[in-house]
Amino acid sequence: MWTGALLLLLVAGAAAGAGIRQAPPAADCATWQACREDVEVALASEAFERAHDLAWRAVQKGPKDDPALMFLLARAQSLAGRPQDALVMVRRLAERGIATEAVTHPDLARMRSLAGWADVEALLAGAGTTAAAVGSSVPPAVPSPAAPPAPVPAPTPATPAPAAAGRDALVIETASLTEDVLRFAVDRFVPAGLAYDGVSRRFVMGDQLGRKLRVVGEGLDHAVDLVRAESAGFLDVRALAIDPRRGDLWVATSDPTGLSGTLHRIQLISGRPLQTLSLEAAPDRPTHPVDLAIADSGAVFVLERDGRLLRARAGATSTETVLTVPVTSPALSLTLAPGDAVAYVSHAAGLLRVELGRGTTAEVTSSAGLPLTSLERLRVHRDGFVALQHDPAGDDRLLRLELSRNGRGVRRVTAYDVRVVAGSSPTALAVAGDEVSLVAAGSHAPGEAGASPSALGSPAELVVRRFRLR
């Protein structure tokens, strides 16, 4: 007994002498007030990475859009080597009319060296309310006067499609949309997934062949790397989605042969890899993930090209096959209906409704006016979907599909006058509220008739097109 105890003491002493330290405790705290206090302690001890994680937890747990907590997060972001994120956070405060100590605070020196700082500093010059530091008395944010809404072109008259008479007859109409074109400097890459983070107001894009994720923030003019294969272990990036409830980013990757595939959980605000799960693969059944969706419960669903639907439950360390959707052509896209009991899967030949609990599938139907084929991207919007329909003979088109009450049919379609030039890779599409954003090799804005299909893939510019649905 004494020999064993002595041996443990010797091992512990040797480890201490060799400089081996225990892993730091997880960045979590019971309340946002405790998180805030722990951030200051971590900053004082120069544990900047831990301070960053704790500050993010404080923002998540604390009052919504609290200026003092947001400013605290900006300080931690700058010190932890994320000055671009700090700049985005300070800009958000300035746009709300909230002044901060960002102009002079020593923690934000790295942020102030960025090229975009001059614009943010000009915004701060006109701000009023002050959020000086964590723990200070900060009055409620005073929103700046809202700008008058941009004029929206009136929709063209509804054009009903040939359909049977009656209450459930399919109605197809066309409508115009106001477009906002965002341009960013970026190297050439193949888009693979697009998501919009409403908290940091950044777009996250997958770089398929570069095996990394890139972010571009509103008000900025260039894209930066969020996380690369060297740190995350990415293979070719195939799909991504944001879990807004938990602040995570999920990414599906696989190698070109399909013999290896991975599902990654990434900390959204920092790009820090948190978890990697293997996707089932075998020589006779390779893995080719094409899309993924996140349930309210935190479960992550991955759609394989052959119709397999994989699931990683919240907290799980592996994925499982839920069912195989009977697609007659390669699967294209996946989305979950509110409530997480029903999924919709598109493929070149149609659209399927999947009851996850029962494992049953049924074809979603429409009247003869619209074939539900080749819906490359499918995302939930209100009581239906926003979809991008591929047309092999011409440009792709942006649609809004309203479902029937039982969710098994489409009762109304709005076809928007959005031209999307078909490229060599599928268009990446994201829906956040009523805002739709897309990026694709070969897409261009109206008026850019001379743009070639490779314009977006040029080494100099990336174009994100954004629309607001009515």
pLDDT tens digits, 368-385: 667 899 998 899 998 899
Residues 98 and 189 placed together within one structural domain of the fold = no
How far, in Å, CA of 307 to CA of 324, rounded? 5
Which CATH number fits the domain that encloses residue 454?
2.120.10.30
| pLDDT at position 12 | 41
What is the separation of C-alpha 242 from the centre of its chain, rounded to a whole number of angstroms? Answer: 4
Mean pLDDT of 187-204: 85
State the angle between helix axes of 83-95 and 67-79 in degrees (0 to 180), rounded to the nearest 10: 160
Q: pTM for the complete prediction? A: 0.63
At 452, the pLDDT band (50, 70, 90 cuts) reads: very low
Q: Where are the alpha helices (DSSP H) in 142-209?
A: none
Banded model confidence at residue 391, pLDDT cuts 50, 70, 90:
confident
Segment 19-30 shows an average pLDDT of 49
Residue 1 CB-density burial (10 A; 0-12 exposed, 13-18 middle, 19+ buried) = exposed
216 and 84 inside one domain: no
- Model confidence at 457, pLDDT cuts 50, 70, 90, reads very low
Q: What is the DSSP letter of 367?
A: -
Q: How far is CA 168 from the centre of its chain?
A: 35
- CATH number of the domain that residue 46 is part of: 1.25.40
Question: Does residue 161 belong to any structural domain of this protein?
Answer: no
Q: Does one domain contain both 312 and 227? A: yes
Question: Could you tell me if 436 and 466 are in contact, meaning their C-beta atoms sit under 8 angstroms apart?
Answer: yes
The pLDDT score that the predictor gives to residue 368 is 60
Total number of domains constituting the chain: 2
Task: Answer whether residue 406 shows pLDDT above 50.
Answer: yes
Dmax over CA atoms of the chain, in Å, equals: 91
Question: For residue 241, is it within any domain?
Answer: yes
Quote the CA–CA distance of 283 and 134 in Å, as a whole number. Answer: 56
Q: Which of 28-37, 176-185, 345-354 is the most confident on average?
A: 345-354
**Average pLDDT of span 278-294:** 91
Q: Is residue 14 part of a domain?
A: no
Q: Please give the Cα distance from 33 to 42 (Å, whole number).
A: 14
Whether 331 and 279 share a structural domain: yes
Do 425 and 237 contact (CB within 8 A), yes or no? no
Residues 330 and 319: their CA atoms lie apart, in Å, by: 21
Mean pLDDT of 404-408: 89
Average pLDDT of the chain is 79
Specify whether 98 is located in the same domain as 233. no
Q: What is the pLDDT of residues 68-117, one digit of tens each?
A: 999 999 999 899 888 888 888 898 888 888 888 898 898 998 889 887 88
* Residue 374 within any structural domain of the chain: yes
Query: 120: domain range?
Result: 25-131
Summarised one tens digit per residue, pLDDT across range 205-220 is 998 889 999 998 877 7
**24, 54 contact by CB (below 8 A):** no
Q: How far is CA 25 from CA 43, 53, 56, 59, 236, in A?
A: 15, 11, 16, 19, 33
Last residue of a domain, one of 110, 131, 152: 131
Report how far residue 400's alpha carbon sits from residue 378's, in angstroms, rounded to the nearest whole number.
10
The closest of 427, 377, 368, 367 to 400, measured between CA atoms, is 377
Q: Please report whether residue 150 resides in a domain.
A: no
Under the banding of pLDDT at 50, 70 and 90, the label for residue 42 is confident
Judge whether 362 lies within some domain: yes
Which one, of 380, 274, 334, lies nearest residue 263 by Cα? 274
Least confident of 57-71, 191-205, 432-446: 432-446
pLDDT at site 164: 36
Question: Per the domain annotation, does 142 fall within a domain?
Answer: no
Q: Is residue 16 part of a domain?
A: no
Which string of DSSP letters, residue by residue, matches 48-86? Answer: HHHHHHHHHHHHHHSSTT-HHHHHHHHHHHHHTT-HHHH
Tokens standing for residue 244: 């807004």
Residue 136 confidence (pLDDT): 36
